[in-house]
Structure 1
């Protein structure tokens, strides 16, 4: 009985001072695209409009022990857009908008990951839409639940930066700012 107390005290002290890891490092290398989502909101005539992309492919190589070496890539099939009506979906595929006949996909390729603390990261990368590439910074929160990592992120784009919604649509009927949210679900490896 006398030996248990010192052993427990040493263990508690080691945990308190960080000598023993409390959480094991986890790797995420596969994205469950069926459980994942990409959505967007914008304003049209001062009303908020919500939409999603139904088809995309994502790759991920993320280790919580070395997050700065993480990589992510995303390819979105632009003709899979659902903006709430078949008319809107058809309009958004036309040359003034996504021009899906010429530019069928949007892509994102990460170039760096910064650790922000509390399971928050800032992922920098190249986003390409309509043949135009811009560097973007995406804040991401990683939530671990039941051996699954959920990467929640959001960013705001200016559609004018990618020449989306030109011509008669450039007059402000549709907001220039488009809010994009994503939720990528990846099992622990």
Structure 2
């Protein structure tokens, strides 16, 4: 090991502005690494907030990198230190690689957000609106999906490249400091030109970077260990949690397994055995899959979220001339939901939302109907979701032409009444409590 070299001359050190930009960007990179570990956590409001912070820091790194390039252009960097030519060329290549990657990673992330199907706006640190890339949000859905997929792949691979560059950069710095002992770190460290092996500045820098990465990676996890508040309905009544909901007993209102409709149509039966009585019996109807739909919609951070249930059955006995004999019972397979957004698709099945593992079905039963006007009706009954039953009203239009009926109805539910969205999702600031439900049914009369 060679003797320590003399401290570098002031002309061999970077300017104070370059030092400040270098360490600011380094600090933000460590924050991003920590947040990257947190982004692999369970879906939820905290993880969503981490993604927003990740975007804000990424754009900040992009801006600082542009400033750093401008500073280098206007302020001549110091000459390279002593060493073999291959080492100088490698160091120069790593520096160029950093500039390229620190520009490309935020730009690819910006492209992902701009091409996302959710279209959620970026607000830097919750204060400064940041636009999408012009022209990207207006692309056709198939083109946007292709752009988003390509950008996600590039973003991931560029992240690996950043890790490789960081490893080379740190190894090179350690070689200069511990092996060559040439005070090379003094070129970028503020303060005296001489750098001791255990210089307090090094301890402070390494400690700060490690602490920031650890805080970014662990603080959101710690906040999730708090017990979520018990969901309470607007009326003040406590909502039963999945663990407290009694097990479904034989003969209860839930339908047996096997909810998927038949390929051509969904068969219907009476809600209870026996023929409807009265001089004008209500008709039985069979739902046709083609043209029938059960959908829901809400928003998150102002961006629309839309979805539908693809598997549900309907037992319908109805006639405008026999409303007192009419009845409807719908059983929904909660695990058959599909949304426009892959993020919400992975969240909704969990215990905080639909809790599909414990509550596979939701049911709507109505036996009270009244006419509101020409072809307009109202059905009143009970809706059961996650083991919680609440009164529900559905207003709908109905037209019957021969043996074909077409129905369209809408209603608005409060998800908090049913314990849908609990724990960290219980608040309604980001995702409102109100959920719009729309149903369209095409059915044919079941003739004896």
The TM-score range, normalised by the shorter chain, is: 0.7 to 0.9
Residue 181 of structure 1 is matched in structure 2 by: 438
- Is 1:85–2:341 an aligned residue pair? yes
Q: Distance in 2 between matches of 1:159 and 1:180?
A: 11
Q: Indicate the structure whose relative CO is greater, using CA pairs within 8 Å and at least 6 residues apart.
A: 1
Q: Distance in 2 between matches of 1:174 and 1:143?
A: 35
Consecutive unaligned residues in structure 2, runs of 5 or more: 1-280
Higher strand proportion: 1
Equivalent position SS for 1:173: coil
TM-score by length of 1: 0.81
| Distance apart, 1:30 and its partner CA | 1.7
Structure number with greater Rg is 2
Higher helix proportion: 2
| Distance apart, 1:146 and its partner CA | 6.1
Q: Distance in 2 between matches of 1:53 and 1:32?
A: 15
Q: Distance in 1 between matches of 2:376 and 2:283?
A: 16
Q: Distance in 1 between matches of 2:436 and 2:324?
A: 26
- Is 1:164–2:420 an aligned residue pair? yes
Q: Distance in 1 between matches of 2:425 and 2:347?
A: 11
| Distance apart, 1:55 and its partner CA | 0.5
Q: Which moved more, 1:103-112 or 1:165-174?
A: 165-174
TM-score by length of 2: 0.35
Equivalent position SS for 2:351: coil
| Distance apart, 1:27 and its partner CA | 3.3
Equivalent position SS for 2:435: strand
Residue 27 of structure 1 is matched in structure 2 by: 283
Q: Which moved more, 1:134-143 or 1:85-94?
A: 85-94
- Is 1:152–2:408 an aligned residue pair? yes
- Is 1:53–2:309 an aligned residue pair? yes
Equivalent position SS for 1:160: helix
C-alpha spacing 1:187/1:176, structure 2 compared with 1 (3 Å) = same
